[in-house]
Structure 1
Amino acid sequence: MLDRRHLIGALAGLSLALPVTAFAQAYPQKPITLIVPYAPGGATDIIGRVVAEELSNGLGQRVVVENRAGAGGSVGAQAAARATPDGYTLMLGALTSHSINMSFQAKPGFDLKKDFVPVGLAGNVGLALVVHPSVQAKTVPELVALIKANPSDFSYASSGQGSPQHLSGELFNLKAGTKMPVVPYRGSGPAMTDMVGGQVKIMFDTIPAVLQHVKAGSLRAIATTGREASPFMPETPTAISQGLDGFEVSSWFGLLATTGTPQPVLDKLNAELNKALQSTKVREALALQGVDPKPSTPSEASKLIESEITKWAELIKASGIKPE
């Protein structure tokens, strides 16, 4: 039997727990803002809008996309990190890019591990290594040998400083023992134009960005960069399967909430996110963007984020690259 002191303590604990439980049960009672830290029209924005629409249906409240572009995604991440932790402001994070920014940018203005808790993964977009048809190599070993034999003839195009595409080239240099310089562009479009024209001859880019050019014969796909063959380019072998051990790059996306968001709210959001990712409508819409849906637990998402931060921090330190 509880004495008076223990009874008061138990009642106090119950009074603190009840509001959280009641809040979670009632959540959401108003529209939710989903920050997309990139401009409208890009892959992250489209993924965010597809997920937002399906979450709206499942949660019974509108999930409104708010684009907060700038600094390679860091402006939007800063805004989401400072939001009230009540589940009414979320972020569709470009987890690979944010992980890179943690080490590449001098002051990213957010900490992916401390400022956010993962709701769950949304999916990933694979990348491919492509070359101009004039390059006399059809496999990774042939390409590495060609670059080493003619180092002054080869550089690689990058769609942006500090992007996964840029870091893919640096990871290739590290793993293959090559020293290709990067040719930076402001976006994938201008880089792809010069690739097709033969001004640069090697590039890493997302599979959706290169696929039409590969099918048309204006570029040749040498490898995909995932751990397993891509469902969008199944005939192209991975770089790992061609002997480039440890070469794995995917552009990951996930739903994040501000640290301190009540666990029952996170659990509810995770259940609705995974339900959305399993719907035929969402899977078809994401497939158009080259996204492979990856339902997950928050713990699995947390481990993925941790591994991405560690991998890119080690690469940036080893390669010595810095923002220009």
Structure 2
Amino acid sequence: MHASINYALTALMALGLIAPASQAAYPDKPIRIIIPFAAGASADAYARVAAIKLTERMGQPVLVEARPGANGIIATELVAKSAPDGYTLLLVNSSHSINQAVYRKLPYDADRDFVAIGLVAVPVSLILVAHPSLPANNGKELIELARQKPDQIAFGSAGIGNVLHLAGALFNVTADVRLLHVPYKGAAPALNDLLAGQVQLMWNASGLVLPHVRAGKLKPIAAAGLKRSAEFPDVPTLGEDALPGYVVSSWFGILAPVATPPDIVRRLRMEMYQGLIQTDARERLAQVGADAPHLTPEEFAAFVKTDADDTGKLVKRIGLAMEAPPLR
């Protein structure tokens, strides 16, 4: 009798008419999305949009937890070594690929220790903004000023090897200048110091700096992407204004530990993608200067691999290579 029941259940599972136990029971407790950046940064805003939609669709609270430090390496190691049960996820951005290319030794393998869940957001444009006291108003004027004052004009970033650091390093190489890099433990504290005039420049998501520009606390210098920012349509890109070929873009996505059961991965992929393409999610992302996902989960998984290859080439061009920062 028991053998017959087991055989019948196995047959139904094979036909996809009932779900395996791991999927049927999942989730039965809150899910965490770990972000490797300080609360208040763009990553925090994007993660919360994903958390809201996953909470709605999965029937369990999805919590966002900030674990900043060491340019995201601390949080990434934590998730890589967490139980692969679908309850601990990681929000990453371009820095995930950058770290793999920049640091000679990491406590995890960015390619082999994670499985891609889905794309969360694509910032419409990174934009270079300045403190109003800086006597430069566009890319050309900034380059001229930087050549007159090597190592005297500072830009803040979310950490060594972060995409905001990469944007400044690429600017230095392509413009043949020496801006001084000041790394922070996240974009939020870097932005605070920019507003206070402790640093003069920063590359950041256009939607996050827009209120400060409107208030006269910052001024836009140039967009960093292929096209102008919707928030700053009158501000040229660096490519069209001063540095042909200069392009820096970013992306934000969610990963899980590589051994997460396939049925849980499929569930997370489906629920997140379906949630984020809804109108209210698109509107929330637009408010913080980002587009909703334009890649399916499968396309995102392939994109992560190609982005790692492209980033490796860019890092070699810039000449960034260093030992991993201390994790404690």
TM normalised by structure 1 equals 0.79
How far 1:135 sits from its partner (Å)? 4.6
Q: Secondary structure of the equivalent of 1:205?
A: strand
Please tell me whether the aligned partners of residues 48 and 92 of structure 1 are also in contact (alpha carbons under 8 angstroms).
no
In 2, Cα distance between equivalents of 1:152 and 1:74: 31
Q: Secondary structure of the equivalent of 1:22?
A: coil
Aligned to 1:43: 42
Please tell me whether the aligned partners of residues 119 and 269 of structure 1 are also in contact (alpha carbons under 8 angstroms).
yes
Return the letter of the residue paired with 2:293: K
How far 1:170 sits from its partner (Å)? 0.2
How far 1:56 sits from its partner (Å)? 2.3
In 1, Cα distance between equivalents of 2:67 and 2:151: 40
| Cα 1:257–1:248 shift into 2, 3 Å | same
Please tell me whether the aligned partners of residues 42 and 208 of structure 2 are also in contact (alpha carbons under 8 angstroms).
no
Aligned to 2:296: 297
Question: Structure 2 matches for 1:218-237, cutoff 5 A?
Answer: 218-237=217-236
How far 1:171 sits from its partner (Å)? 0.9
Aligned to 1:75: 74
Return the letter of the residue paired with 1:296: L
Q: Secondary structure of the equivalent of 1:250?
A: coil
Instruction: Note if 1:93 corresponds to 2:91.
Output: yes
Instruction: Note if 1:55 corresponds to 2:57.
Output: no
In 1, Cα distance between equivalents of 2:160 and 2:178: 17
| Cα 1:133–1:35 shift into 2, 3 Å | closer
Question: Structure 2 matches for 1:85-234, cutoff 5 A?
Answer: 85-86=84-85, 88-125=86-123, 126-133=125-132, 135-148=134-147, 150-152=148-150, 154-159=152-157, 160-185=159-184, 188=187, 191-192=190-191, 195-196=194-195, 200-234=199-233
- Which has the larger displacement, 92-101 or 32-41? 32-41
Please tell me whether the aligned partners of residues 276 and 282 of structure 2 are also in contact (alpha carbons under 8 angstroms).
yes
- Which has the larger displacement, 286-295 or 73-82? 286-295
| Cα 1:76–1:137 shift into 2, 3 Å | closer
- Which has the larger displacement, 111-120 or 186-195? 186-195
| Cα 1:43–1:29 shift into 2, 3 Å | same
In 1, Cα distance between equivalents of 2:265 and 2:255: 9
- Which has the larger displacement, 32-41 or 50-59? 32-41
Aligned to 1:285: 284
Structure 1 consecutive aligned stretches of length 4 or more whose deviation exceeds 6 Å: none
Aligned to 1:272: 271
Please tell me whether the aligned partners of residues 103 and 316 of structure 1 are also in contact (alpha carbons under 8 angstroms).
yes
Please tell me whether the aligned partners of residues 32 and 64 of structure 1 are also in contact (alpha carbons under 8 angstroms).
yes
| Cα 1:210–1:52 shift into 2, 3 Å | closer
| Cα 1:101–1:255 shift into 2, 3 Å | same
Q: Percent identity?
A: 36
| Cα 1:197–1:120 shift into 2, 3 Å | closer
- Deviation readout 1:242-300 (Å, 9 max, x if unpaired): 35344332332112122244444433322221221122332333334333222422332
How far 1:106 sits from its partner (Å)? 4.3
In 1, Cα distance between equivalents of 2:185 and 2:76: 21
Please tell me whether the aligned partners of residues 137 and 146 of structure 1 are also in contact (alpha carbons under 8 angstroms).
yes
| Cα 1:174–1:50 shift into 2, 3 Å | same
In 1, Cα distance between equivalents of 2:71 and 2:194: 23
| Cα 1:117–1:197 shift into 2, 3 Å | closer
Aligned to 1:6: none
Please tell me whether the aligned partners of residues 195 and 203 of structure 1 are also in contact (alpha carbons under 8 angstroms).
yes
| Cα 1:66–1:166 shift into 2, 3 Å | closer
RMSD (Å), alpha carbons: 3.4
| Cα 1:197–1:56 shift into 2, 3 Å | closer
| Cα 1:245–1:300 shift into 2, 3 Å | farther
In 1, Cα distance between equivalents of 2:63 and 2:151: 49
- Which has the larger displacement, 241-250 or 187-196? 187-196
Unmatched segments (≥5 aa) in structure 2: 1-6
- Which has the larger displacement, 120-129 or 39-48? 39-48
Return the letter of the residue paired with 2:19: A
- Which has the larger displacement, 201-210 or 50-59? 201-210
